[in-house]
């Protein structure tokens, strides 16, 4: 029997807290899950630093990848008697679903910003490069790895297949909303996925939604909205990300400095600093490795690096206040000056960070590309874009909302003597 | 105001998936949670290698420690109008609950067995030693750290206080059963904790249960029983533990060997190998550090160490079959011989592992001490031990059940040529 | 001890699927629950005819009344250390919460419309009249029944007390949304009540919400919105209500007709027909009685009454189509004419029904009074009306949305011969 | 297309709180659900008087019947690619599942005992008699009604089909345990049905369970055990049943008495009293009708009938104490004498009631027949009866446990003057 058609003797199941069971029948899927590049996802948290805000959010990208696979499996199962895709497309969908996040590294968002990387590039490289994953996919068909990469990259010719993984209401989003809600424990993030799966209809190059399912989709959009503001953009999480970025910047600066000797050299980071990250380097850098360095660097001679690492490890984060850099440009300059006078380096201890959100057609950190809008199919067969039918969605659609905050090491300022002039000035500015 | 009585300006809450919210009002508790030795628990998984079987089980001991605190807080809240303990005992209970697992290290069970350690010793050392935790507790009262340690060590004079943390139906067990069920996603592990908390009655030196709550307690006992056999003793988890232990043994052997040069020296393990683990050494060794070594050691020159590390990192585990070493002693000897002949070192690639369970008064890995039985209080006021009143509990009480398995590197045998004599012999023995 | 202060020897609990347990400690509350007028609520469904659409929705108003009581109990418990209300207000709140729906009759909405009744009048009459409820309340204080009635009627001087029971985010709504979601099984209706209760702050004459709780309140508003459109205004439910109203109209018409002899005289309905409903008459008419009549009336000689009763009992409902009586006035007239020509009485077999909804400050069927808007309390102490702070709420606030449908006995038309002219004309009109 | 093969144009779904959705695709099933004899099940509570103990338990047998259908549908769906049953057996299974409880009347348990009826007889009569149900089934095939009746009656030749509906682990039990737990709100009753459905294997004349699923089945057995003792045999529920039985006895006695004139004649009960219940009589007597009589009979001239009806309607139940009629035979005689002396008729105000339970192979009220034991299939293919493999099940298997209670109208005794001799004697006996 061709490898692509091989079935396991008996279906395997993974117990999953979100979807109850994840079912695997295809040998190819089973092999992919066992591949080392896929197992590596166990060592990368799904939500980066969010566990420092919501202690339950310690789940890995491995979890989420299985979940996306399972949702796509169920969608295909629902349509198993439909003629519109053949068996090859089926396996392609499943593989793309399983592997879509393969290129994520530790704390992707911060690493991507600091080192100008794109995790999607690495997803492609893992699929097409000299990896266990690639070897498995090639056994299906020499062209198969490229097809999987194309689906994930949204360039595959069959847009219906693409839309299962990447659209405004795709398996990716449906899994992470539910999963992140489950592990954080928040009461948002619940919607009736079973209903949504049942009202999906394939229509040329996308999945559309029967109009009778509009309210379930509204609920999904609202969940997304709430999860963004309550979980994904939580200021405590962002505070941890600020520190993380500062560590990376500081280590890079010291690496290029002539006069600094690391006790523990940043070997795993060097190619990142040098902007020449090979696939092998990339795969070696998982969260444990990052944490190991931060752990050891607490004892480096550079006070700033040691202090920032201690802050991250001990969760001694920066405080924050509302701060709009556009309106408060002058204050920001003065703050920086006062920090310098107070002997606190503003480059590392002061940061303005903004998060923004387009609630309906918004992007997710690291997913800046446009996504297909959601279309409802009216009983007449006509398609209508969701926000034109739903007042709730219309109300939150396309309105960019930005939340600016100033993060700073309040403890360093607090410990100055009360008669310190710069301390007084800093608090005067902060109080507005 | 005395530090012990200080309240936060506003109650703080942690969102918790199991108990919904964890409430903190006491300044002392807030400070303890922020202490670095407590934050360290975020870097130690609650269930060790279980996440390799149940992918959701990635939660940390930090999670569980907050949960135990919360349950004790609710018990005390229920009895807030009762005269039987004063405010000092209240804070003592809360601190002991929060800190009871403080001394756990990475993969405690395996480390304790291989290096002959006891995590409870380290809990005591952290509480009494030169730590942030100790400094906070001492601010309450110079005697307070010792009291907290005594409660956790079960030597505190007030046994009622002890029983909240350590008995057959204590806050520790009630939290971990529910929490481990939640994160693994299994359907066991549910019982009506709210009811149990309501039928608890303080009685001299222990909490007893009103007879009308017997069925809720039966349900709790059955949950425990199911969780042990379905989750805690799962053979795949044990297979990962076998490999973990083998890595530690191999690294120790190489460390003491004269002729081996590590590429990455086991500095963080040295004091473990030398059996002279200081508190500082212990605290430095979290799971990230262990993983870092295993990660790097995949490239050591010693083939066995490198291979075992790769297995652990890539989750390429040993297979297992039922095997009773008492009945099958001869076969075991022959198997080892055949492994040697086949060129596969049985010391590292063959292991018999047993788990046992006393379903009612059983011990948990690493918790060998006896625990107080559960007593029901009849309407007459008389106390009766649970298993004398409940047929179900009686039926599973005290019966030791052992499950023996042989774990081995089946792949190494499989790759031998089919005409290899030792291969044939090994399979003959395994087939019985 | 004064009756008002009497506590039960031991707290009683009711197992409740929504709030887990309902706790009763006050003798007065216990006695009220046992009163016959309160037990009567077991015989009146919370959602009227909704069980014909959502088969799980068979729960009674007894259920809901206990739930509202429990929520108010928890709110008061949260504020037990606050000085702003004394112990008397506490009992008053609890009684008003428990009794607020006491005057509901069977299928209130339809009965109120057909017979021009107001269930709130009957709530007041039960509380103030010669009933077991009144006797219990009077034992507290001769003025107490009036106070309870005033709270429910929203005329009580302390508006804070009133707002617990009747505001845009009161215990009544919080219970019914969750309860109706639970019993129907829909995935809407969930919000984080525990969080909302924690961010409530008493402020002069109302409960306000700390701004940090805004998202939880948004979630509650969205739940309400979804429940209205998905459950409360479901067209199948309305179709059953149309038939119910038609039965009541027909029975009344026959009662006043000189020439009709009921086999089962509508004795329990007579005072309703005569518009002279005494409290005693009202209390006697529960859902079982109504159903009994409809059951028996299936065999009355009047074909219309018998047929309508059979439809209701066997759930053989009218079909519906979208139909706007303002735009389609002419068609409606023609439809009625064609029905007459076809020998089908349009008075009983054709009806236009509209539901409307003001999603945020909307009214609920039978609750036309205005309700206080929700106010957020900003950190500065300033109050701000919710829709001015929340874009989502703003978007759905105050927009009246109406849904018009035409209900008709399609089967009676279908069974006409295909060449019947009126049949053809009816279908021409319906197809638009 | 043959009626048996007709599919609905589009699958219909019912929102179900327990199984989320109930899916209907077959025209036959759709028609059966719409039949008046099936709709009648909406007017009969699943758990009789249990709602007087657990207020949430107001759900009807209509609910449960849909649930059993859905479980059988899923089992068949799981095996859709297996050759062991043809399409006709499929429809037969679904119909039998849907209709298995069709013959239940109001408060079946009490009615069956008092009037010596068997609801299964009526199920058969409805299926085979002149009913809408029968007409639908006959359209499938003239033999089909008989087949459906045979499956329900367990006489159908294909025992595998029978075992889906009637065995120790059938769809009936799996639905009612979960459903009754859901509506009562108790925390028992949960087990992993999805897992059980997956480990079921057809084996000749029964469904057997793969050994790896044993723990899920243990959990199911324990749920059943807990539900029996916590819910089904709850003494408050039994107290309501005692009163209900007494009402029926009293009404019958008065009916046969020469000198009593009912204000409301028991027309609907006459054929029950006369032991000549026709199918038509039986179908007319739903719970609303029973309640209507009890409601009106509160005003009958017979004090006992009026009082008992008032007790039932107002939930003014008998109190109870432990009482073993075998050991306390003499006391019972004396109690009865004292009641007579006190002027309280012991025939109606004193009752000993026993419930018994065989936890594993026990019967359910009204289901006395033996049921097939559960068999595990070992990896070798060998079958083993569950209790021989599971210690927990073995421990509770076959042990009859009986719970005797004495129910009596304590209020009637209490209101006697304290110096009344019989009052004193009664309390002496009761105190033992």
C75 and C206 fall within a common domain: yes
Distance of CA A411 to CAs A235, A301, B134, Å?
18, 21, 22
Run of H or E residues at A337: helix A329-341
Kindly tell me if the per-residue pLDDT of D82 is higher than 60.
yes
Same domain flag for D270 and D321: yes
| Alpha-carbon span C32 to C11, nearest angstrom | 15
Residue A400 has pLDDT above 80, yes or no: no
Whether the predicted pLDDT of D367 surpasses 50? no
Determine the pLDDT at residue D368: 43
Query: For B373, which DSSP code?
Result: P
| Closest chain A C-alpha to C217 CA, distance in angstroms | 11
Q: In this structure, are residues A55 and A45 in contact, taking their beta carbons and an 8 Å threshold?
A: no
Is the Cβ pair C55, D66 closer than 8 Å? yes
Helix (H, G, I), strand (E, B) or coil at D18: coil
User: Do A13 and D194 make contact, defined as CB atoms within 8 angstroms?
Assistant: no
Q: Report pLDDT for B188.
A: 83
Whether D176 and D249 map to the same domain: the answer is no
C35-53, pLDDT tens digit by residue? 999 999 999 999 999 999 9
Q: Closest Cα of chain C to D292: distance in Å?
A: 6
D207 bridge partner residues: D202
Residues contacting residue B272 through CB under 8 Å, at least 6 positions apart: B111, B115, B117, B252, B281, B285
Least confident range of A134-138, A215-219, B237-241, D315-319: A215-219
- Least confident window among A10-24, B84-98, C50-64, C387-401: C387-401
| Beta bridge partners of residue A208, listed in sequence order | A201
Place C366 in a pLDDT band, splitting at 50, 70 and 90: very low
Per-residue pLDDT at C368 exceeds 50: no
Residue A155 DSSP SS3:
coil
Task: Please tell me the distance from the alpha carbon of residue A237 to that of residue A192, in angstroms, as a whole number.
Answer: 28
Q: Which long-range contacts (CB under 8 A, 24 or more apart) does C127-133 make?
A: C127/C99, C127/C102, C127/C152, C129/C279, C130/C279, C131/C35, C131/C37, C131/C279, C132/C35, C132/C36, C132/C37, C133/C32, C133/C35, C133/C37, C133/C38, C133/C99, C133/C102
Share of chain D above pLDDT 90, in %: 72
Please name the member of B60, B288, B315 whose beta carbon is closest to the beta carbon of A288: B288
pLDDT of B368:
43
- Non-local CB neighbours of D54 within 8 Å, separated by 6+ positions: C15, D183, D184, D185, D186, D231, D234
CB within 8 Å: C288 and D288: yes
pLDDT at B390: 84
Tens digits of residue pLDDT in D150-182? 999 999 999 889 989 888 889 999 999 999 999
Distance CA A56, CA A282 (A): 27
Total domain count for chain A?
A: 2
Mean pLDDT of A328-343: 94
Inter-chain touch A230–C218, beta carbons under 8 Å: no
Name which of B223-237, B399-413, D77-91 the model is least confident about. Answer: D77-91
Q: At A298, is the secondary structure helix, strand, or coil? A: coil
**On the CB side of C164, how many CA atoms lie within 13 Å of its CA?**
31
Q: How high is the mean pLDDT of chain D? A: 91
Compute the nearest-CA separation of C170 from chain B (Å): 22
In the three-class reduction of DSSP (H, G, I as helix; E, B as strand; rest coil), residue D332 is classed as helix
**Cα separation of B103 and B268, whole Å?**
17
pLDDT-derived band of residue C357, with 50, 70 and 90 as boundaries? low
Contact between chains at A20 and D198 (C-beta distance less than 8 A): no
**Same structural domain, C37 and C157:** yes
Whether B383 is covered by a domain: the verdict is no
Residue B136 domain flag: yes
pTM: 0.93
Average pLDDT over residues A312-327: 93
- Given this model, what pLDDT does residue A363 score? 31
pLDDT at B203: 85
Mutate to test the interface with A, among B44, B55, B299 (most CBs of A within 10 A): B55
Query: DSSP string covering D144-207, please?
Result: HHHHHHHHHHT--S-HHHHHHHSSTT-HHHHHHHHHHHHHH--S-S---HHHHHHHEEEETTEE
Q: What is the mean pLDDT of chain B?
A: 91
The DSSP code for A367 is B
Write down the pLDDT at residue D362: 40
Task: Inform me whether the pLDDT recorded for A303 exceeds 90.
Answer: yes
CATH code at B190? 1.10.3210.10
Mean pLDDT of D347-355: 92
Q: Are residues D61 and D143 in the same domain?
A: yes
Q: Among A199, A232, A265, where does a domain finish?
A: A232
In order of B101, B123, B150, B162, the CA distances from B153 in angstroms are 11, 9, 5, 8
Q: Which residues contact D247 (CB under 8 A, 6 or more apart)?
A: D294, D297, D305, D308, D309, D312
For C247-262, what is the mean pLDDT? Answer: 96
Q: Is the pLDDT of residue B389 over 90?
A: no
Question: Mean pLDDT in chain A?
Answer: 91
Asked if the structure places residue A393 within a domain, the reply is no
- A194-198, B160-164, B321-325, D51-55: range with highest mean pLDDT: D51-55
Quick one: D404 exposed, middle or buried, by C-beta within 10 A (0-12, 13-18, 19+)? middle
- Whether A305 and A216 map to the same domain: the answer is no
- Looking at A392-406, B274-288, C13-27, D398-412, which range is the least confident one? A392-406
Q: For residue B366, is pLDDT > 50?
A: no
pLDDT for C137 beyond 50:
yes
Of C253, C279, C314, the position where a domain reaches its end is C314
Q: Which site among B11, B21, B210 would you substitute to test the C interface, given the most C Cβ atoms closer than 10 Å to its Cβ? A: B21
Average pLDDT, chain C: 91
D392 touches chain B (CB under 8 A): yes
Q: Is residue D249 domain-resident?
A: yes
Chain A contact present for C225, CB below 8 A: yes
What CA–CA distance (Å, rounded) separates C12 from A123? 60
pLDDT at B363: 31
The residue with tokens 């139906």 is B169
Using the predicted structure, report yes or no on whether residue B88 has a pLDDT greater than 80.
no
Residue A366 has pLDDT above 60, yes or no: no
User: Residue D83's pLDDT band (boundaries 50, 70, 90)?
Assistant: low
Compute the distance between CA of residue A65 and CA of residue A172 in angstroms, rounded to an integer.
Answer: 8
Same domain for D226 and D255, yes or no, is: no
Pairing type for strands A206-210 and A375-377 reads parallel
Q: Among the listed ranges A125-134, C214-223, C330-339, which one has the minimum average pLDDT value?
A: C214-223
pLDDT at res. C371:
62
Partners of chain C (3+ Cβ pairs below 8 A): A, B, D
Chain B residue nearest residue A38, CA to CA? B314
pLDDT at A370: 56
D287 touches chain B (CB under 8 A): no
Nearest residue, CB atoms, C395 vs list A219, A226, A395? A395
Residue B47's nearest CA partner among B134, B202, B177, B217 is B177
Q: Has residue D101 got a pLDDT over 90?
A: yes
Same domain for C333 and C309:
no
Could you tell me the CATH number of the domain that includes residue C293? 1.20.1250.30
D13 in contact with A, Cβ within 8 Å: yes
The whole-number pLDDT of residue B367 equals: 43
pLDDT at residue C88 in the model = 77
Is it the case that residue B402 has pLDDT exceeding 80? no
Q: Which of B187, B230, B395 has the CB atom closest to D391's CB atom?
A: B395
Q: Which pLDDT belongs to residue B362?
A: 40
Q: pLDDT tens digit string along C371-385? A: 678 899 998 889 998
Which of A203-212, B350-359, D357-366 is most confident? A203-212
- pLDDT confidence tier of residue B6, bands split at 50, 70 and 90: very high
The tokens of D122 are what?
């009526």
Q: Let me know if residue A382 belongs to a domain.
A: no
Q: Considering CB atoms only, which of B218, B226, B391 is closest to D219?
A: B226
- Residue D386 within a domain: no
Is residue D125 in some structural domain?
yes
Residues A225 and A243 in one domain: no
Task: Give residue D363's pLDDT.
Answer: 31
pLDDT digits (tens, 9 = 90+) for C56-71: 999 999 999 999 999 9
Residue among A13, A15, A243 with most chain B CBs within 10 A, to mutate: A15
Asked if C57 contacts C185 with a C-beta cutoff of 8 angstroms, the reply is no
pLDDT band at D366 (very low <50, low <70, confident <90, very high): very low
Rounded to whole angstroms, the Cα distance separating A268 from D73 reads 56
Q: Which residue has the tokens 């009126």?
A: C422
Q: Domain range spanning residue C329?
A: 318-358+400-432
Nearest residue to D57 (alpha-carbon basis) of C4, C15, A318: C15
Looking at residue B284, what is its pLDDT?
95
Q: Which of residues 182-201 of D touch B (CB under 8 A)?
A: 186-188, 190-192, 195
With CA atoms as reference, the chain D residue closest to A12 would be D198
Do D20 and D165 lie in one domain? The reply is yes
Residue A38 CB partners (closer than 8 Å, separation 6+)? A32, A62, A65, A98, A99, A102, A133
pLDDT confidence of D1, banded at 50, 70, 90? confident
- Any residues with CB less than 8 A from the CB of C152 and at least 6 apart, and which? C96, C99, C100, C120, C123, C124, C127, C165, C166
Which residue in chain B is spatially nearest to A284 when comparing CA positions? B295
- Which of C284, C314, C344 is at the close of a domain? C314
Considering only residues D10 and B337, tell me which one the structure prediction assigns the higher pLDDT. Answer: B337
ipTM score? 0.94
Which subunits count as partners of chain B given 3+ CB pairs below 8 Å?
A, C, D
Partner-chain residue, chosen from D186, D192, D399, that has the shortest CB–CB distance to B187: D192
Residues C173 and C218 in one domain: yes
- DSSP three-state, residue D357: strand
- Whole-number pLDDT of residue A282: 96
Q: Cβ of A48: how many Cβ atoms within 10 Å?
A: 23
As a whole number, mean pLDDT of residues D90-115 equals 95
pLDDT for residue C391: 78
Which of D137, D109, D145, D126 has its CA nearest to residue D28?
D137
- State percent of chain C over pLDDT 90: 72
Per-residue pLDDT at D360 exceeds 80: no
Neighbours of A, requiring at least 3 CB pairs below 8 Å, are B, C, D
User: With 70 as the cut, is the pLDDT of residue C399 above it?
Assistant: no
Predicted local confidence at residue D348, as pLDDT: 97
Mean pLDDT across the stretch C137-160?
95
Between D34 and B83, whose confidence is greater? D34
Q: What mean pLDDT comes out for the span A389-411? A: 83
Q: Does residue A153 contact residue A124 with C-beta atoms inside 8 Å?
A: yes
pLDDT for D327: 87
SS (H, E, C) chain C: CCHHHCEEEEEEEEEECCCEEEEEEEHHHHHHHHCHHHHHHHHCECCHHHHHCCCCCCCEHHHHHHHHHHHHHHHHHHCCCCCCCCHHHHHHHHHHHHHCCCCCCCCHHHHHHHHCCCHHHHHHHHHHCCCHHHHHHHHHCCCHHHHHHHHHHCCCCCHHHHHHHCCCCCHHHHHHHHHHHHHHCCCCCCCCHHHHHHHEEEECCEEEEEHHHHHHHHHHHHHHHHHHHHHHCCHHHHHHHHHHHHHHHHHHHHHHCCCCCCCCCCHHHHHHHCCCCCHHHHHHCCHHHHHHHHHHHCCCCCHHHHHHHHHHHHCCCCEEEECCCCCCHHHHHHHHHHHHHCCCCHHHHEEEEEEEECCCCCCECCECCCCCCCEEECCCCCEEEHHHHCHHHHHHCCCCEEEEEEEECHHHHHCCCCCCHHHHHHHHHHCC
Evaluate whether residue A371 is within a structural domain.
Answer: no
Confidence of residue B30 (pLDDT cuts 50, 70, 90): very high
Do A70 and A124 share a domain, yes or no?
A: yes
pLDDT score, position C343: 94
Retrieve residue D238's tokens.
């039994």
């Amino acid at each position: 029997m061709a490898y692509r058609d091989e079935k396991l003797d008996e279906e395997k199941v993974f117990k999953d807290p979100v979807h109850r069971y994840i079912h695997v029948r295809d040998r190819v899927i089973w092999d992919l899950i066992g591949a080392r590049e896929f197992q590596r996802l166990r060592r990368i948290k799904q939500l980066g630093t969010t566990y420092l805000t919501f202690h339950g959010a310690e789940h890995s990208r491995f979890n989420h990848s299985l979940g996306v696979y399972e949702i796509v499996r169920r969608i295909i199962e629902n349509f198993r008697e439909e003629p519109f895709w053949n068996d090859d497309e089926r396996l392609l969908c499943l593989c793309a679903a399983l592997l879509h996040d393969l290129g994520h590294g530790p704390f992707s968002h911060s690493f991507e910003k600091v080192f100008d990387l794109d995790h999607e590039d690495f997803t492609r490289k893992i699929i097409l490069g000299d990896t266990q994953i690639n070897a498995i996919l090639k056994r299906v068909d020499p062209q198969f790895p490229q097809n999987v990469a194309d689906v994930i990259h949204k360039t595959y010719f069959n847009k219906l297949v693409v839309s299962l993984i990447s659209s405004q209401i795709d398996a990716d989003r449906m899994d992470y909303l539910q999963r992140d809600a489950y592990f954080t424990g928040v009461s948002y993030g619940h919607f009736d996925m079973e209903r949504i799966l049942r009202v999906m209809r394939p229509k040329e190059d996308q999945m559309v939604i029967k109009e009778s399912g509009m309210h379930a989709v509204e609920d999904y959009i609202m969940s997304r909205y709430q999860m963004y503001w309550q979980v994904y953009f939580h200021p405590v999480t962002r505070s941890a990300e600020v520190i993380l970025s500062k560590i990376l910047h500081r280590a890079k600066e010291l690496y290029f400095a002539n006069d600094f000797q690391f006790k523990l050299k940043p070997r795993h980071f060097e190619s990142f600093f040098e902007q020449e990250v090979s696939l092998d380097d990339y795969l070696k850098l998982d969260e444990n490795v990052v944490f190991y360095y931060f752990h050891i660097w607490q004892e480096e001679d550079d006070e700033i690096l040691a202090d920032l690492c201690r802050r991250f490890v001990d969760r001694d984060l920066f405080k924050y206040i509302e701060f709009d850099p556009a309106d408060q440009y002058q204050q920001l300059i003065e703050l920086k000056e006062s920090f310098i006078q107070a002997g606190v380096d503003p480059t590392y201890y002061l940061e303005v960070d903004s998060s923004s959100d387009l609630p309906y057609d918004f992007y997710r950190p690291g997913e800046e590309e446009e996504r297909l809008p959601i279309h409802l199919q009216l009983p007449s067969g006509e398609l209508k874009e969701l926000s034109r039918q739903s007042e709730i969605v219309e109300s939150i659609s396309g309105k960019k909302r930005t939340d600016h905050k100033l993060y700073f090491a309040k403890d360093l300022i607090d410990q100055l003597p009360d008669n310190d002039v710069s301390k007084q000035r800093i608090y005067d500015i902060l109080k507005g």
